Copies of this chain bind each other. A is one copy, B any other.
């Protein structure tokens, strides 16, 4: 068991964990970076195995429990990670008296607000409970995708055109608060991400490819960008070894993510799988 450092006078870091395997990767990256995160798992969402971490399960709308856990465990920083597929029903929302008084409209926002609205409110409520909400990259900076090509394969001229086309679409999607990713082939955008997520969008592209609905002579690129207005304390756009498998299935040339505002999970496994398959992973910017 590693000994975890804690700066003098500093509290513990916690992860409010939703669905998917992202919270598990974030928790491991935080351990690698030298801290031991406390896991607050949303019981209706979190599907990770948390037995090797100190953890507690709570209902999605249970702010009273968050406040208690933060206080009892001396948590001073909290990371939101993973997706929340189901909004809480109104009777599941348990705000504290303090947060209720400070934030009228909490219930309405939780039930009906856009994702970004809900996120801003959840952050305000948690910060009212005494912990600062931070991004995973602040504790585990190695997670962040850096600028430039990370693989031995570089994007060629055709892929660069696809990156430009895909980026325009991904940013437009982001403005609409719909998705973060697009696939462009031959300079044209052919698929856009909705709630299905990136992996399922790639499976769709693979299916279109198998059915001869896409160019056979052009490969194409997956592009993922942070939503223009996104709070960086929510999960940044993420890729990992699973994404590389999806790219191979879809016959794409590579993936471009926003440098500095995207997470690359399982970095070594992802890069070596990409190199083996002749696929590039590149960190790019909003402007050329």
Interface residues, chain A, with chain B CB atoms under 8 Å away: 85-87, 112, 114-115, 168-169, 172-173, 175-179, 183, 186-196, 204, 208, 212-215
Contact of A195 among B168, B195, B208 (CB under 8 A): B208
B196 adjacent to A191 (CB under 8 Å):
yes
Evaluate whether A191 and B191 lie within 8 angstroms (CB atoms) in the complex, with A112-B186, A176-B169, A213-B85 already known: no
State how many copies of this chain the complex holds.
2
Given A177-B188, A178-B189, 4 further pairs, Cβ under 8 A: A112-B186, A177-B189, A191-B196, A195-B213
A178 adjacent to B169 (CB under 8 Å):
yes
Contact of A194 among B86, B115, B190, B215 (CB under 8 A): B190
Query: Chain A at the B interface: mostly helix, strand, loop or mixed?
Result: loop
Evaluate whether A172 and B168 lie within 8 angstroms (CB atoms) in the complex, with A189-B194, A195-B208, A204-B196 already known: no
Minimal Cβ-Cβ distance residue in B for A168: B176
Instruction: For A114, list chain B residues within 8 Å (CB).
Output: 187-188
A192 adjacent to B194 (CB under 8 Å):
yes
A195 adjacent to B186 (CB under 8 Å):
no
